[in-house]
């Protein structure tokens, strides 16, 4: 599958793959959807699979319910999009949106347009400023003095390089003890919870750490800026989850 797809093509590709891997028939899916009140035939499911159906929200919900029953495991709506990295909201559009943006919206994030091609300079600047502030704070604590610009720049560059390491390398550094990674500490601070509490919430929500989920969604070889944007979406997902479990 190409890196950028329409939503209809992404859902159709996912459906075709799942049918092939699990040995499902068009009629099985149609019958499962009819149990929820749909009037689908095998032809209806075929149209979805070929990307020729009008994918309204009820259609997506019915498809998720039908596949969830047949696979014997609940499916989030975002799973129907398969593994595509970017999506176009309108066929032929020259302005794709990031997959992480779509996942965030489906999980309750605000619907604010974010294009794949428009790398937001303000976001990059915000990330650097947050890192610089954190570096200055830590250097003051460790050395009892203000750091020089060269020291701050060198430390920020090191932190950005470390953010490209696999999550296991970043989170299992014995020197950090139970303080958590820099990304976890910043996310916990934004949410007003302890790092330990953030870790428990992440495990409940995604079955792994915030950094692992950020790495998975941003994709291999992603830049620190891209990881930062994904992490901000994840923080909002955790915030929404906290509100649900209160």
CA dihedral over 44, 18, 221, 170, signed as positive or negative: positive
Residue 150 clears pLDDT 70, i.e. is over it: no
R_g (Cα) of the chain, nearest Å: 21
pLDDT, mean of residues 236-244? 83
Are 64 and 75 spatial neighbours (Cβ–Cβ below 8 Å)?
yes
pLDDT, mean of residues 11-26? 94
Q: Which of 91-100, 101-110, 174-183 has the lowest mean pLDDT?
A: 174-183
pLDDT of residue 48: 96
Partnered with residue 98 across adjacent β-strands are: 86
- Hey, which bits of 22-139 come out as E strands? 86-88, 97-98
Does the pTM surpass 0.75? The reply is no
DSSP secondary structure code for residue 193 in this structure: S
In 3D space, the residue among 126, 116, 224 whose CA is nearest the CA of residue 170 turns out to be 224
pLDDT, mean of residues 179-207? 82
**Pairing relation of β-strands 86-88 and 4-6?**
parallel
Q: Which of 11-20, 89-98, 112-121, 212-221 has the lowest mean pLDDT?
A: 112-121
In 3D space, the residue among 136, 245, 228 whose CA is nearest the CA of residue 186 turns out to be 228
pLDDT of residue 146: 64
- Under the banding of pLDDT at 50, 70 and 90, the label for residue 1 is very low
pLDDT of residue 170: 40
DSSP secondary structure code for residue 207 in this structure: S
| Helix/strand/coil percentages in the chain, nearest 5 | 65, 5, 30
Among left, alpha and beta (phi > 0; psi -120 to 50; other), residue 40 is: beta
Residue 126 clears pLDDT 90, i.e. is over it: no
Residue 198 clears pLDDT 70, i.e. is over it: yes
pLDDT of residue 176: 39
Distance CA 115, CA 90 (A): 13
Mean pLDDT of the chain: 77
Are 69 and 78 spatial neighbours (Cβ–Cβ below 8 Å)?
no
Tokens of 17: 């793959």
- Under the banding of pLDDT at 50, 70 and 90, the label for residue 134 is low
DSSP secondary structure code for residue 180 in this structure: -
Domains identified in the chain and CATH numbers: 4-99 (1.10.260.40), 121-245 (no CATH)
- 232 contact partners, CB below 8 Å, separation of at least 6: none
pLDDT of residue 167: 43
Distance CA 183, CA 222 (A): 16
pLDDT, mean of residues 236-246? 80
Distance CA 101, CA 111 (A): 9
Tokens of 149: 């610009």
pLDDT of residue 175: 37
A 10 A CB-CB count for 124 gives 16
């Amino acid at each position: 599958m190409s890196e950028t797809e329409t939503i209809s093509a992404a859902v159709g590709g996912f459906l075709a793959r799942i049918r092939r891997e699990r040995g499902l028939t068009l009629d099985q899916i149609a019958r499962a959807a009819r149990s929820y009140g749909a009037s689908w035939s095998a032809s209806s499911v075929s149209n979805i699979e070929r990307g020729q159906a009008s994918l309204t929200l009820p259609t997506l919900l019915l498809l998720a319910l039908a596949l969830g029953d047949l696979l014997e495991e609940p499916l989030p709506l975002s799973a129907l999009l398969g593994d595509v990295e970017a999506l176009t909201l309108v066929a032929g559009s020259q302005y794709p949106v990031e997959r992480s943006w779509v996942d965030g919206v489906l999980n309750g994030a605000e619907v604010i347009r974010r294009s794949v091609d428009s790398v937001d300079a303000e976001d990059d600047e915000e990330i650097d400023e947050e890192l610089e502030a954190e570096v200055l704070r830590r250097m003051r604590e460790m050395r009892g003095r203000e750091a020089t610009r060269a020291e701050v720049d060198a430390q920020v560059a090191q932190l950005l390089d470390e953010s490209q390491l696999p999550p296991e390398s970043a989170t299992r550094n014995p020197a950090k003890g139970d303080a958590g990674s820099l990304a976890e500490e910043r996310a916990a601070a934004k949410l007003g919870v302890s790092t330990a509490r953030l870790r428990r919430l992440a495990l409940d929500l995604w079955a792994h750490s915030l950094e692992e989920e950020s790495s998975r969604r941003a994709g291999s070889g992603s830049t620190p800026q891209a990881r930062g944007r994904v992490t901000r979406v994840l923080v909002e997902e955790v915030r929404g989850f906290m509100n649900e479990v209160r």
